[in-house]
Amino acid sequence: VDGAELAAEDLGISLTSYAPEKPENIEEQIAILEDLITKGVDCIALAPTNTESIAAGIVKLNEAGIPVVYDNTRGSGGDFLAYVGIDNYSVGFQLGEYVAEQMGYEGNLLLLEGVPGQSTSDLRSQGARDALAQYADITVESQPANWSYAEASDITTNMLTKWGGELDAVISAGAGQSEGAAEAIKAYGLTQDDVAGGSFDVTAEVVEAIRNGD
């Protein structure tokens, strides 16, 4: 959003940002799109909450003649001008290989997915899983944390208990979750030296956690 606001200022564009209260709430996101159609906006840059379920909203935008650009997450079901993002499967695969190396290619790994059905989460997670599947001595437990700090912390705590503290690595599909996992690991009495970590999204909170050694 910060980057979009800077660009809008440079281009003389009036920019307003909207988001559902919960990142997985597709009904609220479609309702927001319908409201923006009523308001007659000129263009929408959209990160869909759910790749497939957003289709009904995209069709409505097409019918209203409002151009759509996808940001970070692709949608479906209609026409769009462009997708601005990365090859999420490829970077997920690269991250999986990197963390496997940090583990010495053996041990227990927790994969924290984002929101199921959202292409960004699904592709990153699948890429990581495919990379890790190359190594028979790595045991992978994969669960969705819905981009939530609290859910990631709870899941990590449960897995630490299940594995008796023998958690060797955590991969998170996105920020927020990685900090939640780090907090749970620290609360359990382990450190960054005990558990390898890999995540996506560079936020101020992630940078602070790295600087603090978490």
pLDDT in tens, 174-204: 989 999 999 999 999 998 889 999 999 888 8
Q: Tens of pLDDT along 18-43?
A: 999 887 788 999 999 999 999 999 99
pTM of the predicted model, to two decimals?
0.80
Nearest Cα to 138, choosing from 191, 81, 99? 99
Q: Tens of pLDDT along 132-173?
A: 999 999 999 999 999 999 999 999 999 999 999 999 999 999
Report whether 53 contacts 76 (CB < 8 A): no
pLDDT at 185: 95
pLDDT at 145: 96
Host H or E run for residue 83: strand 82-84
